[in-house]
Amino acid sequence: MKMSLTGTAANLVTLAEGAEHGGNHESLSPYVTGIGAFVALMLLLWITTRFNRDR
């Protein structure tokens, strides 16, 4: 089975167009996601520095 480059490109364009219409979920706010990620990273940083103290 041999696929041509133009056929593969056409399939990728069709796939990208489909993701454009239904890719985002209404309940996920970028601000909530960003703040949640920031808080999680700060918590991990705090835990790491607490265990990495020189005695």
Q: If you write DSSP's letter for every residue of the chain in order, what string do you get?
A: ----HHHHHHHHHHHHHHHHHH-S-TT--HHHHHHHHHHHHHHHHHHHHHHT---
* pLDDT tens, position by position, 15-46: 766 655 555 666 778 899 999 999 999 999 99
Residues in the chain: 55
What is the CB-side half-sphere exposure of residue 3 using CA atoms within 13 A? Answer: 8
Q: 1: pLDDT confidence band, cut at 50, 70 and 90?
A: very low
Q: What is the Cα–Cα distance from 31 to 38, expressed in whole angstroms?
A: 10
